Amino acid sequence: MRTLGPDEEDDLTAEPALPAPSTPRGGVAGSIPTCTVPPFAAGPRRAFLAAAVRSPGQIGAVAPSSPRLADLLASVVPTHGAPIVVELGPGTGSVSAAIAERLPAGARHLAVELDPRLAAYLRRTRPDMEVVVGDAEHLTGLLAARSVPAVDAVVSGLPWSLFGGATQRAILDQVAAAIGPTGAFATFAYTHTAPMTTARRFRRMLSEVFDEVVVSRTIWRNLPPAYAYVCRRPRSEGRYQSVQRDTGR
Ligand SMILES: C[S@@+](CC[C@H](N)C(=O)[O-])C[C@H]1O[C@@H](n2cnc3c(N)ncnc32)[C@H](O)[C@@H]1O
């Protein structure tokens, strides 16, 4: 594990692992990457496929994140106190389950999902979460409207490779404003996309926005294999403050 410089473009797969979650959930067998689904079986898989067919330009994945990847992403979620956690692009809730497993009583778990049908599905299946139909690009406004001044962690399932550079930057600035100097941000990318220009640009952008960017080892038990970024300490004080002013914080 280490921090990336803004211009580094080396092999991600050589990175050592982030700390392993203490209680990985089941559902993955052998060394073949498989698509696993939460315990409520065919429901989420059907809902995910339907969303992927309905709006392929918004989903950007062939399967929900595996429990292994979900646990890794959720590792930024505090397990004590009364944290406020935001999930971006929860889809059918595979990462939501890992977040919920860590959250202590009294925590808040907000989930911002652009697809209203997926949001309706999540409201049915995950009543523990506050599901918000909205665009991650408007995160600080969505939080301000719910009287949430700052959050402890943001966990993203967003399909970054489908976004243009301006959208990526706008969302990252919103995340930076939401977590402030003390929060954490976790997101993921697919290993096969790492050499692509857009993925390389996204990595550079992460290092521009955050002082610390930690890259995980490859999670092979995911379809397709993926890795996580964990970011802390937004760099741009000026940009951070201007978003705060916009949202009245
Ligand atoms: C690849 S799926 C990830 C689902 C789930 N988090 C997982 O890892 O299995 C991407 C999700 O992000 C949602 N999404 C895409 N663009 C979004 C945006 N701008 N704001 C909020 N959600 C968005 C999609 O509707 C979809 O549910």
107: DSSP letter? -
Report how many domains make up the chain: 1
Q: What is the pLDDT of residue 51?
A: 76
User: Has residue 88 been placed in a domain?
Assistant: yes
Is the CB–ligand 1 distance for residue 67 below 6 Å?
no
C-alpha 20/C-alpha 222 separation (Å) is 15
User: Has residue 17 been placed in a domain?
Assistant: no
Q: If you take atom 12 of ligand 1, which residue's CA is the nearest one? A: 89
Q: If you take atom 4 of ligand 1, which residue's CA is the nearest one? A: 91
Is the CB–ligand 1 distance for residue 60 below 6 Å?
yes
User: Has residue 21 been placed in a domain?
Assistant: no
Strand ranges (E), the chain: 84-88, 108-113, 130-133, 153-156, 184-190, 210-215, 226-234
Which residues have C-beta within 8 Å of that of residue 220, sequence separation ≥ 6? Answer: 31, 33
Residue 122 has which token pair? 């999540």
Q: Tell me the three state secondary structure of residue 227.
A: strand
Is the CB–ligand 1 distance for residue 21 below 6 Å?
no
Which residues have C-beta within 8 Å of that of residue 148, sequence separation ≥ 6? Answer: 84, 108, 110
User: Has residue 14 been placed in a domain?
Assistant: no
Residues 138-162: tens digit of each pLDDT? 999 999 999 998 999 999 999 998 8
Which of 115, 160, 222 best tests ligand 1's pocket when mutated (most atoms within 8 Å of CB)? 115
CATH number of the domain within which 100 lies: 3.40.50.150
Structural contact between residues 35 and 92, judged by C-beta atoms closer than 8 angstroms: no
Which of 58, 71, 86, 143 best tests ligand 1's pocket when mutated (most atoms within 8 Å of CB)? 58
Residues 186-236: tens digit of each pLDDT? 999 999 989 988 889 999 999 999 999 999 999 999 999 999 999 999 997
Q: What is the pLDDT of residue 28?
A: 30
User: Has residue 217 been placed in a domain?
Assistant: yes
**Residue the block writes with tokens 């490859």:** 218
**DSSP H stretches of helix in 135-236:** 139-145, 165-179, 197-209
What is the arrangement of strands in the sheet containing 108-113, beginning at the earlier edge strand? 130-133, 108-113, 84-88, 153-156, 184-190, 226-234, 210-215
Q: What is the pLDDT of residue 45?
A: 73
Residue 136 has which token pair? 């991650």
**Residue the block writes with tokens 């595996």:** 66
Q: How many other CB atoms are there within 10 angstroms of residue 66's CB atom?
A: 27
Residues 36-45: tens digit of each pLDDT? 334 334 477 7
Domain limits at 106?
Answer: 33-246
Is the CB–ligand 1 distance for residue 112 below 6 Å?
yes
Is the CB–ligand 1 distance for residue 115 below 6 Å?
yes
C-alpha 133/C-alpha 143 separation (Å) is 12
Query: Which is the closest atom of ligand 1 to the Cα of 69?
Result: 8
Whole-model pTM above 0.75? yes
**What's the gap in Å between 104 CA and the centre of ligand 1?**
25
**What's the gap in Å between 166 CA and the centre of ligand 1?**
18
Structural contact between residues 84 and 112, judged by C-beta atoms closer than 8 angstroms: no
Give the orientation angle of helix 165-179 with respect to helix 237-246, to 10 degrees. 80
Q: What is the pLDDT of residue 63?
A: 78
Q: What is the pLDDT of residue 43?
A: 76
Q: If you take atom 2 of ligand 1, which residue's CA is the nearest one? A: 59
